[in-house]
């Protein structure tokens, strides 16, 4: 992978997020505008200062009939003729938006960039949503034969259990932990604690994955404002610095990979992120990882280097990723409890990092949170972004 | 809003779905499904040739789909598996003539020709390979 050399450092100076959940009274544009306005307000700038809008959105087309969401957003934010770009990498569309905005500021091309993500998923019924999400995998060789998105992660889970002895209970513990955290997040979709028994009695979706192993269908939007680090303190007392912005790709189809229990793109992206930040996995105080399914969080522990390959199940069992553990993961509630509006998720993760780094996470606050990592996955790992944020420049 | 396409969308894939046709790189000897123009290992040094797989392999991983996408409701519950073919490439499809409780990793399977689904608007019947225990 090529070595990124930013011309200048980049800071986050404002954040805005909607409540995640089922918003019957809000459409795609209202959600995006709500998060955008909050972010601009918190950045202490005016909309006229924004030179570029980058919006992550997986499938406005299949979920709402609306493509071209970038221009829609600029329009309804009243920001024409500001340029707007939509990024799409399935569930990593938000991570791609941040990376695109980061490149725009780091290169010196733009000063103030609004980076958002939005997905409106509840305007279609369940089977249509399942079909839309199936587009994140290889359509002609996976979806064609009747594979579903939970089914693809179930294939990963089954092989991980076979190869490393990962247990049903360990998968359940991921969901239990994330609901425990999400209970304390006012923006989370499901603020409800659950037990291992709840998970294991929930309806089977794709063996061995049950309903409570799966992230939900969610409406929501999130926005952050980027600025050059040199001028960040003019606008906020608490800028958060982006120390790394990395991305990698892998085969679209799961079956084409040598080892289906590891997300190769995560391994490559995080290696590049640690290189950029001049850090190692030991320096990370807490992380938001892409737990679209419980098994995905266990794979992420391993692929991000928080533990050795095959040991992810034990990490959750030993409580190391719980709040108060060695490396708290998904303090926001993760995709599981906070909700997963696919295009917004990558930005929502960043908002949790900023909230934690600023010491504003209330009952879910991580002690001594100085460096946080965000891991956003598209499909079964064909696109992965990793960002590392720091309180200190 | 069912995703249904014009006939050529399916017609151009008949060969790879009916006969399990992929590619082999004459340079590194790696085989791939579906067909590729470029070998990811050899890239510009690749020399790709058409390859018809024997259809024999073993189950690498599996799941049982209980919540189907559009068009698959009548088949639920059905088994989806990744099969490692004897030539080395892996593929994904359903395993049929097998109860959900009987499927196991490592089980020997062979491809068979089956109906995949029928499109509701056009009535087009889609076919392809599935697997059954050998």
pLDDT tens-digit readout, A13-43 = 999 999 999 999 999 999 999 999 999 999 9
Q: In Å, how far are A110, A222, A225, A238 from A9, measured between CA atoms? A: 12, 22, 14, 15
pLDDT digits (tens, 9 = 90+) for A56-82: 999 999 999 999 999 999 999 999 999
- What is the structure's pLDDT at B81? 98
Interface check B109 vs A, CB under 8 A: no
Average pLDDT, chain A: 96
Which chain B residue lies closest to A211 (C-alpha atoms)? B67
Give the mutation candidate from A123, A207, A254, A295 for the B interface (greatest B CB count, under 10 A): A207
Evaluate if residue A51 carries a pLDDT over 60.
Answer: yes
pLDDT digits (tens, 9 = 90+) for A127-170: 889 888 989 999 999 999 999 999 999 999 999 999 999 999 99
- For chain A, percent of residues with pLDDT exceeding 90: 96
Average pLDDT for residues B52-71, to the nearest whole number?
A: 95
Rounded distance between C-alpha atoms, residue A141 and residue A50, angstroms: 42
pLDDT digits (tens, 9 = 90+) for A172-196: 999 999 999 999 999 999 999 999 9
Average pLDDT for residues B74-93, to the nearest whole number?
A: 97
8 Å CB contact between A300 and A160:
no
- What is the structure's pLDDT at A126? 86
For residue A203, how many C-alpha atoms fall within 13 Å in the half-sphere facing its CB? Answer: 6
| Candidates A204, A255, A256; nearest CB to B66 | A204
Evaluate if residue B79 carries a pLDDT over 50.
Answer: yes
Give the angle subtended at the CA of A374 by the CAs of A316 and A97, to the nearest 5°. Answer: 145
- What is the structure's pLDDT at A58? 96
Evaluate if residue A121 carries a pLDDT over 50.
Answer: yes
CATH fold group of domain B1-14+55-134: OB fold (Dihydrolipoamide Acetyltransferase, E2P) (2.40.50)
Average pLDDT for residues A326-352, to the nearest whole number?
A: 98
Average pLDDT for residues A296-309, to the nearest whole number?
A: 98
Q: Which of A110, A160, A268, A340 is catalytic?
A: A340
Interface check B10 vs A, CB under 8 A: no
DSSP structure string for B58-122: EEEEEEEESS--TT-GGG-SEEEEEEEETTS-EEEEEE-SS-TTT--TT-EEEEEEEEEEE-TTT
What is the value of ipTM here, to two decimals? 0.97
Evaluate if residue B2 carries a pLDDT over 70.
Answer: no
- What is the structure's pLDDT at B5? 85
Q: Is A69 helix (H, G, I), strand (E, B) or coil?
A: helix
pLDDT digits (tens, 9 = 90+) for A252-280: 999 999 999 999 999 999 999 999 999 99
DSSP A142: T
Active site residue A292: no
| Confidence tier at B3 by pLDDT (50, 70, 90) | low
- For chain B, percent of residues with pLDDT exceeding 70: 98
Among A157, A161, A132, which Cα is nearest to A297's? A157
- What is the structure's pLDDT at B1? 38
Does the beta-carbon distance from A159 to B100 stay under 8 Å?
no
Average pLDDT for residues B3-19, to the nearest whole number?
A: 89
Non-local (6+) Cβ contacts of A139 within 8 A are none
Interface check A258 vs B, CB under 8 A: no
Give the mutation candidate from B14, B39, B60, B65 for the A interface (greatest A CB count, under 10 A): B65
Among A314, A164, A180, which Cα is nearest to A306's? A314
Question: Residue ranges per domain, chain B?
Answer: 1-14+55-134, 21-53
Domains and CATH numbers, chain A: 146-197+243-390 (3.40.47.10)
Of A132 and A202, the one with more pLDDT: A202
């Amino acid at each position: 992978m090529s070595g990124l050399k930013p011309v200048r450092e980049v800071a986050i100076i404002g954040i805005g997020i909607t409540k995640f959940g089922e918003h019957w009274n809000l459409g795609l544009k209202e959600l995006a505008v709500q998060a955008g306005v909050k972010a601009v307000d918190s950045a202490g700038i005016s909309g006229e200062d924004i030179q570029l809008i980058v919006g992550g959105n997986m499938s406005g087309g299949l979920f709402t009939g609306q493509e071209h969401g970038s221009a829609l957003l600029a329009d309804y934010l009243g920001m024409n003729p500001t340029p707007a770009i939509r990024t799409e990498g399935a569930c990593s569309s938000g991570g791609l938006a941040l990376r695109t905005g980061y490149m725009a500021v780091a290169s010196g091309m733009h000063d103030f960039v609004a980076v958002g993500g939005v997905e409106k998923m509840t305007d279609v019924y369940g089977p249509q949503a399942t079909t839309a999400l199936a587009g994140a995998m290889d359509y002609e060789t996976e979806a064609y034969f009747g594979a579903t998105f939970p089914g693809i992660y179930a294939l990963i889970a089954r092989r991980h259990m076979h190869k490393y002895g990962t247990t049903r209970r360990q998968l359940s513990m991921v969901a239990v932990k994330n609901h425990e955290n999400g209970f304390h997040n006012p923006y989370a979709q499901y603020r409800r604690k659950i037990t291992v028994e709840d998970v294991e009695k929930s309806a089977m979706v794709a063996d061995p994955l049950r309903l409570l192993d799966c992230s939900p269908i969610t409406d929501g939007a999130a926005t952050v404002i980027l600025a050059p680090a040199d001028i960040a303190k003019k606008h906020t007392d608490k800028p958060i610095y982006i120390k790394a912005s990395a991305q990698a790709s892998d085969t679209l189809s799961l079956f084409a990979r040598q080892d289906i229990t590891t997300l190769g793109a995560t391994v490559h992206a995080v290696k590049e992120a640690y290189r950029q930040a001049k850090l190692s996995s030991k320096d990370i105080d807490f992380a938001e990882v892409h737990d679209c399914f419980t098994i995905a969080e266990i794979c992420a522990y391993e692929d991000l280097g928080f533990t050795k390959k095959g040991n992810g199940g034990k990490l959750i069992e030993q409580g190391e990723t719980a709040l108060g553990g060695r490396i708290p993961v998904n303090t926001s509630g993760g995709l599981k409890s906070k909700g997963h509006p696919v295009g917004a998720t990558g930005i929502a993760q960043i908002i949790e990092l900023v909230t934690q780094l600023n010491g504003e996470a209330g009952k879910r606050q991580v002690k001594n949170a100085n460096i946080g990592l965000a891991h956003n996955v598209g499909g079964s790992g064909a696109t992965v972004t990793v960002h590392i944020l720091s309180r200190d420049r | 809003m069912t995703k249904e396409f014009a006939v050529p969308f399916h017609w151009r894939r008949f060969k790879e779905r009916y006969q399990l046709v992929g590619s082999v790189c004459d340079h590194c000897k790696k085989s791939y499904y579906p067909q590729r123009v470029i070998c990811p290992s050899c890239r510009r040094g690749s020399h790709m040739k058409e390859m018809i797989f024997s259809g024999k392999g073993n189950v690498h991983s599996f799941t049982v789909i209980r919540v189907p996408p559009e068009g698959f409701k009548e088949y639920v519950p059905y088994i989806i598996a990744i099969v490692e073919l004897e030539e080395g490439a892996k593929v994904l499809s359903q395993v049929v003539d097998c109860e959900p409780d009987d499927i196991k990793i490592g089980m020997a399977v062979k491809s068979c020709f089956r109906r995949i689904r029928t499109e509701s608007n056009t009535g087009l019947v889609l076919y392809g390979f599935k697997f059954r225990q050998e």
